[in-house]
């Protein structure tokens, strides 16, 4: 059984588990399956709204899917979370992405 299938089975057994949703979403993201990844990541974020890494991945999914305005909004929210949670690396990443996306 591959990693993706293990994550799918975890979500099937525990559909409300945010860690399972994140793991499946992250695996799908890594495979370039952004629309599927986004679906699971959004469930995880609803369960834990201050999960900065999930917020970042949702923004990256939106960007890959050509939804620039949604990506910007997601990255702005991730930037705010990075500030409030004192995460310098993700803060710098979000500031760079937002600078690149500004007109």
* Domain annotation for the chain: domains and CATH numbers: 3-101 (1.25.40.10)
H helices present in 1-103, as ranges: 3-13, 18-30, 34-47, 52-64, 68-84, 88-101
pLDDT tier for residue 1 given thresholds of 50, 70 and 90: confident
* pTM recorded for the entire structure: 0.93
- Judge whether 56 and 68 are in contact, CB under 8 Å: no
The span from the CA of 11 to the CA of 64, in Å, is: 24
pLDDT digits (tens, 9 = 90+) for 15-29: 999 999 999 999 999
Cα 96–chain centre separation: 17
Distance, CA of 94 to CA of 100 (rounded, Å): 10
């Amino acid at each position: 059984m591959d990693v993706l299938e293990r994550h799918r089975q975890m979500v099937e057994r525990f559909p409300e588990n945010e860690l399972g949703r994140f793991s499946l979403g992250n695996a799908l993201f890594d495979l370039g399956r952004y629309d599927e990844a986004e679906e699971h990541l959004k469930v995880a974020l609803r369960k834990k709204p201050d999960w900065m890494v999930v917020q970042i991945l949702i923004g990256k999914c939106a960007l890959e899917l050509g939804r620039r305005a949604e990506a910007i909004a997601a990255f702005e929210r991730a930037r705010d979370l990075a500030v409030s949670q004192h995460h310098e690396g993700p803060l710098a990443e979000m500031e760079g992405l937002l600078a690149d996306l500004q007109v």
